[in-house]
């Protein structure tokens, strides 16, 4: 189909007041706009965004990757499971921390299955930390939205201090000090909530060489907290 654009007579050019409308040439326009949208507005724009990000903020643009001895061990922004007593534990994950199947539980508040799970998790955390069930903070009981929440609340970290200190043979005050050091407050003083990044805190613990760890017998037993 030849679709030459039919425009109005040239005599009217530059006089939009009484220029009749021109409706033809719609195929050519539509094909052009399709290419322009996908290749230009989509692809080239994405490339530009990547270019700006890589040039200005290379670390975050590449996923805030954490390396240890030249080996990639994770990302600051992705929770990973910790099992031994020597580490702080992140929030439970509906996705078992698998980044290919990210999800929340999507269970309703009135769902009996969720109520049952919350009570079981609460009891397991209370047993693990040796505290009253009522003292377990909410964020350690509930599953996050995406399944890889890298943070716990400062309270969620505090209740784990005694256990971690015991397993590492450290003074609780030293561990508590690290928790305080790694607590991020509300951003700009008003936004969000105070939080502790679990991976960063655990790496700081491992790096703490002042008092070499002497794990007590049986301290390596796996956590009883159900992850799902």
Partner 1 sequence: MVEPLLLLSLLLVVGWPLGRYLAAVMRGAPMRSDALFSWIERPIYAALGTRPHVGMSWRGYAGAFLLSNLLLAIVVWVIFMTQAWLPLNPDGVPNMSWDLALHTMVSFLTNTNQQHYSGQAQLSYLSQMTGIVGLQVVTPVMGLAMVAATLRGLFGGRQAMSQDSAQVKATDAKVVVDVGNYWADVTRATLRFVLPLCLVLSALLTWQGVPATLAAGPVASPVEATAEFKEQKIPLGPVSPMVAIKQLGSNGGGWYGPNSTVPLENPTPLSNFLEVFAIALIPVSIIFMVAPFTGRRKFGAMVLGTMLTMSVLTAGISLWSENNSATTLDVALMEGKEVRLGAEASALWASTTTQINNGSVNLMLDSSAPLTGMMSMINMLINAIWGGVGCGLMQFLVYLMLAVFLAGLMTGRTPELFGRKIEGPEVKLLAILVLLQPLVILGFTAITLAIPSITGNSNPGFHGISQVFYEYVSAFANNGSGFEGLGDATVWWNVSCAIVLALGRFPSLVIPLAISAMLASKRRAPEGSGTLHVETPTFALTLIGIVIILTLLQFMPVLVLGPVADHLLLTELLAR
Work out which of 192, 214, 221, 228 binds partner 1, going by CB under 8 A.
Answer: 192
Closest CA to 24 of 37, 6, 42: 6
Work out which of 124, 125, 126, 141 binds partner 1, going by CB under 8 A.
Answer: 141
From residue 130, alpha-carbon distances to 110, 117, 143 in Å are 29, 20, 21
Q: Residues 98 to 117: which contact partner 1 by CB under 8 A?
A: 98-112, 114-115
Residue 46 makes contact with partner 1 by CB under 8 A: yes
178 contacts: CB under 8 Å, gap ≥ 6: 201, 204, 205, 208
208 contacts: CB under 8 Å, gap ≥ 6: 170, 174, 178
Residue the block writes with tokens 């037993």: 221
Toward partner 1, which CB reaches closer, 64 or 174? 64
Residue 144 in contact with residue 163, Cβ under 8 Å? Answer: no
Spatial distance between the Cα atoms of 148 and 103, rounded to a whole number of angstroms? 9
Work out which of 116, 130, 135, 145 binds partner 1, going by CB under 8 A.
Answer: 145
Toward partner 1, which CB reaches closer, 102 or 162? 102
| Smallest separation (angstroms) from partner 1 to the CB of 222 | 8
Toward partner 1, which CB reaches closer, 105 or 158? 105
Q: Residues 118 to 137: which contact partner 1 by CB under 8 A?
A: 118, 122
Closest CA to 197 of 184, 209, 215: 184
Spatial distance between the Cα atoms of 84 and 225, rounded to a whole number of angstroms? 12
Residue 146 makes contact with partner 1 by CB under 8 A: yes
Residue 87 in contact with residue 207, Cβ under 8 Å? Answer: no
Residue 190 makes contact with partner 1 by CB under 8 A: yes
| Smallest separation (angstroms) from partner 1 to the CB of 75 | 5
Residue 213 makes contact with partner 1 by CB under 8 A: no
Work out which of 11, 188, 207, 210 binds partner 1, going by CB under 8 A.
Answer: 188
Residue 220 makes contact with partner 1 by CB under 8 A: no
Residue 223 makes contact with partner 1 by CB under 8 A: no
């Amino acid at each position: 189909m030849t679709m030459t654009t039919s425009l109005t007579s040239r005599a009217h050019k530059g006089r939009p007041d009484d220029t009749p409308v021109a409706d033809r040439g719609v195929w050519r326009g539509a094909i052009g706009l399709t290419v322009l949208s996908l290749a230009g507005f989509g692809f080239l724009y994405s490339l530009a965004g990547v270019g700006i990000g890589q040039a200005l903020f290379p670390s975050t643009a590449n996923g805030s990757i954490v390396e240890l001895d030249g080996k990639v061990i994770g990302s600051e922004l992705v929770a990973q499971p910790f099992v031994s007593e020597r580490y702080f534990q992140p929030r439970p994950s509906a996705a078992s921390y698998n980044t290919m199947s990210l999800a929340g539980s999507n269970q309703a508040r009135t769902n009996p299955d969720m109520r049952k799970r919350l009570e079981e998790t609460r009891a397991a955390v209370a047993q693990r930390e040796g505290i009253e069930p009522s003292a377990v903070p909410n964020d350690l009981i509930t599953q996050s939205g995406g399944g890889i929440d890298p943070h716990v609340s400062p309270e969620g970290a505090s209740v784990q201090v005694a256990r971690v200190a015991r397993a590492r043979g450290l003074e609780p005050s030293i561990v508590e000090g690290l928790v305080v050091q790694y607590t991020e407050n509300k951003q700009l003083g008003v936004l969000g909530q105070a939080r502790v990044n679990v991976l960063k805190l655990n790496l700081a613990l491992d790096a703490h060489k002042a008092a070499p760890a002497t794990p007590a017998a049986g301290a390596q037993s796996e956590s009883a907290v159900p992850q799902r």
